[in-house]
Amino acid sequence: MRQASLIGHVIEIYSAFAKKPERPADLQIRNFFSERKYLGAKDRRFIADAYFGTIKNYRRLEAIVRDTDLAKKEFKTGDPLFSVLTVAAFFIASQGLAPDEVNEALFELNLPFAQDFVREQFWAMADHQREIERLAALPPAERLAIAYSFPVWFVEKLEREYGESEIEALLSSMNEEAPTVLRANTLVVKDREELAHELSAEGCETSPSLLAESALTIPRRINVLGSKAFKRGAFEIQDEASQLVAPLAGIEDTRVKVLDACAGAGGKTLHFSALLENKGEIYATDIDGYKIDELKKRLKRSTSQNVRIIYPERREGELKKKREWFDVVLLDVPCTGTGTLRRNPGIKWVMTEQMLDEVVVKQRAILEENAQYVKPGGVLIYATCSVLKEEGESQIDQFLLHTPGFVLESTLRTRPDKEGCDGFFAVRLRKSNPESLPTIE
């Protein structure tokens, strides 16, 4: 496919996202590709890379467009012309394409506002020194917010939580491309080595993770969901950080009872099932029924047989007699998702301080509500895929301060700039009972 046509496809999908950023970016491009079967793998990779690259760097690119616009138009995010110029800025300022090459491609597309394209603006987009000088004149937080395309309030909060010396590396890492990570399903394969051998036979090379015992990393983007190994349940796609949460429970006896109270589509439910070797009992529930529907499909493929699904409308009735009954209660709470920005860059577009305040209140309520289900001697696992300490360390400090009977035993914090995986926070809290013989470590 000609370069102009490829750029045209990028403009089309990015423009659609910019109008409705509340819809997940990956879902939008998945639907886009499903309606365009004629696109080959190479073309899809080009379009996807440019699409996600533009979304990740949108504030920087929009600033470049506004700075280089000779007519000084009052652009708004989502305006058709603004979206086109933002994509043009991506190819020129981020990818190094020649300004005239991009200019000619846009004219070749016969867009309705082609008369608004100015050759001098495209050349100004390529002036990196101009951008450096413009950013240098801004206050530190605003400079970083534009350079790495994050809301200013988010940058300021990270600086308070992590310190000025660490913030730029963290922001930069959240714009990098995340690898595809698999978790070997040990209900189907013996270990990740067996899975690696099976995938290699299908032409997919992997490398073992240094962080998670059952994890394999794929260095290049390929469609592993079409593999025979996936169809027979040999693996799940799950980031390394997420794979560290279930083992944090320290399970030694497989005959335990687990409650996954915020199961979602069940990534950690499935991991627990494998760790328990299809023994014990796992109760999985979530307030969103459609997520439980997806979990049911995954359970069937995984060959898991020790999971009991509880739909939202049955939750109260099922759990009312289960107070102090579970050996492990997992709370993978709703959060801002800022630890997954490498995979879900569209979160940048919609997250607000109000959203953070609301989710913190919700997390606290979930903690308070579900702590009652932990048996004496059992453990409570609290986890969140956020880099913000307000959703992690601060939540646990408040919980322990106001909830007697729980003791902090272990803490996990990962960051993309440190461990190279998603940003995650998790803790193991033990419910004290000196007379109880705990079933887990």
CATH number of the domain within which 65 lies: 1.10.940
Task: Check the CA dihedral 398-403-409-414 and report its sign.
Answer: negative
Overall number of domains in the chain: 3
Instruction: Say which CATH number the domain at 228 has.
Output: 3.30.70.1170
Reading the chain (441 residues) residue by residue, the pLDDT tens digits are 899 999 999 999 999 999 999 898 989 999 999 999 999 989 999 999 999 999 999 999 999 999 998 767 888 888 899 999 999 999 999 999 999 999 999 999 988 877 778 889 999 999 999 999 999 999 999 999 999 999 999 999 999 999 999 999 999 999 999 999 999 999 999 999 999 999 999 999 999 999 999 999 998 777 898 899 999 999 999 999 999 999 999 998 888 999 999 999 999 999 999 999 999 999 999 999 899 999 999 999 999 999 999 999 999 999 999 999 999 999 999 999 999 999 999 999 999 999 999 999 999 999 999 999 999 999 999 999 999 999 999 999 999 999 999 999 999 999 999 999 999 999 999 998 755 444 444
CA separation for the pair 412, 396 (Å, rounded): 12
Q: How far is CA 159 from the centre of its chain?
A: 21
Q: Which of 108, 137, 166 is the last residue of a domain?
A: 137
* Structure token digits, residue 109: 């597309």
Same domain? For 224 and 253 the reply is no
**What is the C-alpha to C-alpha distance for residues 257 and 254, in angstroms, rounded to an integer?**
9
Question: Is residue 76, in this structure, part of any structural domain at all?
Answer: yes
**295 and 392 in one domain?**
yes
CA distance 28 to 32: 6
Based on the domain organization, do 125 and 39 belong to the same domain?
A: yes
Residue 197 lies in a domain: yes
Q: How many Å is the maximal CA-CA distance in the chain?
A: 80
CA gap 304, 187 in Å, rounded: 7
CA distances, 59 to each of 19, 106, 277 (Å): 15, 22, 47
Give phi and psi for 376, each to the nearest 5. Answer: -55, 130
Residue 80 sits in the same domain as residue 111: yes
- Cα 386–243–360 angle (5° rounding)? 25
Same domain, 233 and 262: no
Domain identity same for 228 and 326: no
Rounded CA separation 239/340 (Å): 9
CATH code for position 280:
3.40.50.150
Find, among 380, 371, 378, the residue nearest to 441 by Cα.
378
- The 3-state DSSP class for residue 174 equals coil
> E-strand spans in 230-367?
235-237, 257-260, 281-285, 307-310, 326-332
Which residues are registered as beta bridge partners of 380?
329, 429
Domain that holds residue 90: 3-137
In a domain, 158, yes or no: no
Q: Does one domain contain both 193 and 283? A: no
Residue that has been written with the tokens 């933002």 in this structure: 86
260, part of any domain: yes
Same domain, 221 and 366: no
315 exposed, middle or buried (CB, 10 Å; 0-12, 13-18, 19+)? Answer: middle
Asked, for residue 172, whether it belongs to a domain, the answer is no
Is 335 in the same domain as 275? yes
pTM equals: 0.92
Q: Give the list of residues 6+ apart from residue 185 with CB closer than 8 angstroms, or none.
A: 233, 234, 235, 236, 270, 274, 302, 303
The single-letter DSSP state of residue 65 is: H
User: Which two tokens mark 21?
Assistant: 């950023």
Q: How far apart are CA 52 and CA 14, in angstroms?
A: 9
pLDDT at 434: 54
**Which among 251, 164, 246, 180 is positioned nearest to 218, based on CA atoms?**
180
